[in-house]
């Protein structure tokens, strides 16, 4: 796996003589920045999918259908789709530490705006603001992590994905309970506070992260000319479309079988996600087969969710769903940076764009299917897209590490 050059190119340190008295960094000081980055990821991911945890109450409060309320997720993704490829172009020389801290502050402001929004239209404005923060943070976090801990790209990717899993295994179920108990607006306000704490922690923990010397429009154009990279990005769109046609409406899919089981099922999804994150990091050496198998497992989980009529079957489906989908951020981060190691920042921005485009299209498609044909239809359509992604990756080669 490419090391420091896969993210932010900095001159190598001169060899240290055996007589040097400079102490080696301790594990704690080395990994603290990555932990702070992971917490930031957890906050922006929790913010992105928070509407899924409180969807019925949110929809009723602002006077829209549940399918329309799912656009609160799509709005975030729309802004993210434009932000991810453009932020490095607009800020080619900005210190990535400064940018990351500022983006977390913007995410906190977005959640606060949603918490006090008097209408669905203004709520969407707040969600658009979150999309800017989310896409920018995702685009730079991996590079900042590999800059802080050179040569550990799979571990950094797994750590960031672990933040995603924590958001789902703890954040989403807790948000569902809090939303039912004290209201969805309080849930968003509390998330705003936690996100602000994340910004402060990141400012304290992350050292200066200089940009890649070639960062900007030239790097992005070069990455776009890489045919293998763009074919993989198309597969990212398909698998993310498959998941996000269904995920914003997971609570409705669960309640179709047993409304009482909602919190437990969401917890099961998150536990599966934790396992999937670890597996993806452990199995990263077999990246090509892993990239093909994980989307096919996701498709199986969505089909099983669609046909489930009992709690045990649904539980198995939801856990598999969380496991397989949570492997994808690790897999796709490593895939794009292995295919395009010299322009990893642009490759990462394209990966983030692909996810955001797919989230936008998936949430809109899923909402239309939900309102017109019921929750089973969106689960089956999502499964079909995931199968297409798995088959696509099966035929794409990746360079060996």
Give 122-132 pLDDT, tens digit per residue: 898 899 999 89
Give the Cα separation of 67 and 48 in Å (integer).
Answer: 17
With bands split at pLDDT 50, 70 and 90, how would you rate the model's confidence at 382? very high
The answer on pLDDT for 17 being more than 60 is no
pLDDT of residue 268: 86
Does residue 15 sit within a domain? no
Locate 223 and state its tokens: 């990455």
Averaging pLDDT over each range in 222-226, 270-274, 298-302, which range is the top one? 298-302
Parent domain of 355: 30-394
Question: What percent of the chain shows pLDDT beyond 90?
Answer: 28
Look at residue 215 in the predicted model and tell me its pLDDT. 58
What is the rounded average pLDDT for all residues in the chain? Answer: 82
Cα separation, 80 vs 388, in Å, equals: 24
Helix 27-53 with 120-148: angle, nearest 10 deg: 160
Q: What is the pLDDT of residue 238?
A: 93
Chain center to CA of 20: 42
**Residue among 269, 280, 379, 274 at smallest CA distance from 320:** 269
Other beta carbons within 10 Å of 12: 9
In a domain, 139, yes or no: yes
Domain total of the chain: 1
**Cβ proximity of 7 and 345 under 8 Å:** yes
pLDDT at residue 9 above 50? no
Top-confidence residue, 280 or 71: 280
Instruction: Note the pLDDT of residue 3.
Output: 35
The CATH number of the domain holding residue 388 is 1.20.1250.20
- Quickly count: other Cβ atoms within 10 Å of residue 355's Cβ: 29
**Entry field: residues in the chain:** 401
Which pLDDT value is given to residue 400? 63
In a domain, 19, yes or no: no
What does the pLDDT read at residue 210?
A: 81
Average of pLDDT values for 231-243? 91
- What sections of 54-95 are H helices per DSSP? 55-62, 66-69, 71-90
Q: What is the pLDDT of residue 27?
A: 41
CB atoms within 10 A of CB 121: 9
Q: What's the rounded mean pLDDT across residues 131-145?
A: 87
Looking at residue 224, what is its pLDDT?
Answer: 77
Mean pLDDT of 298-326: 92
Q: What is the pLDDT of residue 34?
A: 92
pLDDT recorded at residue 399: 65
The helix (run of H) or strand (run of E) holding residue 256 is: helix 250-257
φ/ψ of residue 119, rounded to 5: -145, 165
CA distance 101 to 33: 12
356 touches 77 (CB < 8 A): yes
Does residue 267 lie within any of the structural domains? Answer: yes
Q: Cα torsion for 90, 93, 99, 100, to the nearest 10°?
A: 110
Question: Could you give the CA distance from residue 168 to residue 163 in angstroms, rounded to a whole number?
Answer: 9
How many Cβ atoms sit within 10 Å of the Cβ of residue 247?
27
- Over residues 156-178, the mean pLDDT reads 79
**Which residue in the block uniquely carries the two structure tokens 């709690």?**
311
Say yes or no to pLDDT of 317 above 90: yes
Q: Where are the beta strands (DSSP E) in 169-276?
A: none
Is residue 70 assigned to a domain?
yes
> Tens digit of pLDDT for each residue in 332-371?
888 887 887 777 777 888 888 888 788 778 877 888 888 7
Tell me how far apart the alpha carbons of residues 62 and 294 are, in angstroms, rounded to a whole number: 37
In this predicted structure, the answer to whether residue 162 has a pLDDT above a threshold of 70 is yes
CA 275 to chain centre: 16
Residue at 301 is within a domain = yes
Choose from 126-140, 170-184, 254-268 the range with maximum mean pLDDT. Answer: 126-140
Is 303 contained in some domain? yes
State residue 68's pLDDT score. Answer: 79
Assigned token pair, 62 = 């602002």
Cβ-contact 243, 386 below 8 angstroms: yes
> In this structure, is residue 18 part of a structural domain?
no
pLDDT of 5 above 70: no
Residue 12, pLDDT above cutoff 80: no
Please report the pLDDT score of residue 29 as a whole number: 47
Higher pLDDT, 109 or 93: 109
Selection from 187, 209, 75, 198 nearest residue 143 by Cα: 209
What secondary structure does DSSP assign to 261-326, as a single string? GHHHHHHHHHHHHHHHHHHHHHTGGGHHHHHHHHHHHHHHHHHHHHH--SHHHHHHHHHHHHHHHH
Indicate whether 291 pLDDT > 70.
yes
The helix/strand/coil state of 14 is coil
Where residue 271 falls among pLDDT bands split at 50, 70, 90?
confident
Q: Examine the pLDDT at 7 and tell me if it is beyond 60.
A: no
For 287-318, give one letter per residue: b (16+ CB within 10 A) or e.
Answer: bbebbbbbbbbbbbbbbbbbebeeeeebbbbb
305 to 153, 361, 375: CA distances (angstroms): 34, 21, 10
Least confident of 97-106, 242-251, 314-323, 381-390: 242-251
- The pLDDT assigned to 193 comes to 96
């Amino acid at each position: 796996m490419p090391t420091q050059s896969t993210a932010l190119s900095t001159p190598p340190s001169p060899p240290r003589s055996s007589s040097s008295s400079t102490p080696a960094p301790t594990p704690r000081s080395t990994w603290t920045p990555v932990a702070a980055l992971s917490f930031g990821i957890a906050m922006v991911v929790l913010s992105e999918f928070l509407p899924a945890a409180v969807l019925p109450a949110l929809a009723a409060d602002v006077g829209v259908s549940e399918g329309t309320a799912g656009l609160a997720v799509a709005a975030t993704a729309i802004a993210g789709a434009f932000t991810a490829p453009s932020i490095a172009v607009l800020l080619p020389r900005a210190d990535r530490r400064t940018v990351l801290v500022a983006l977390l502050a913007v995410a906190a402001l977005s959640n606060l705006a949603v918490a006090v929004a008097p209408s669905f239209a203004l709520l969407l404005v707040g969600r658009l603001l979150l999309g800017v923060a989310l896409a920018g943070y995702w685009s730079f976090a991996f590079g900042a992590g590999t800059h802080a801990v050179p040569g550990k790209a799979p571990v950094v990717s797994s750590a960031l994905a672990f933040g995603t899993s924590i958001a789902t295994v703890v954040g989403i179920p807790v948000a569902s309970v809090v939303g039912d108990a004290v209201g969805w607006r309080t849930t968003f306000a509390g998330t705003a506070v936690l996100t602000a704490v994340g910004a402060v922690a990141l400012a304290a923990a992350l050292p200066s992260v200089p940009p890649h010397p070639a960062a900007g429009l030239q790097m992005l154009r070069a990455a776009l000319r890489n045919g293998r990279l763009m074919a993989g990005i198309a597969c990212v769109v398909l698998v993310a479309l498959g998941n996000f046609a269904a995920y914003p409406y997971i609570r409705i899919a669960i309640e179709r079988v047993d409304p009482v089981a909602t919190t437990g099922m969401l917890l099961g999804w998150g536990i599966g996600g934790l396992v999937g994150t670890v597996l993806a990091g452990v199995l990263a050496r077999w990246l090509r087969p892993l990239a093909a198998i994980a989307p096919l497992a996701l498709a199986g989980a969505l089909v099983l969710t669609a046909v489930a009529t009992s709690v045990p079957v649904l539980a198995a489906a939801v856990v598999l769903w969380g496991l397989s989908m949570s492997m994808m951020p690790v897999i796709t981060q490593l895939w794009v940076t292995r295919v395009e190691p010299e322009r990893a920042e642009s490759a990462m921005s394209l990966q983030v764009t692909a996810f955001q485009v797919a989230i936008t299209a998936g949430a809109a498609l899923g909402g239309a299917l939900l309102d017109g044909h019921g929750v089973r239809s969106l689960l089956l359509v999502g499964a079909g897209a995931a199968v297409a992604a798995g088959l696509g990756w099966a035929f794409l080669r990746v360079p060996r590490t």
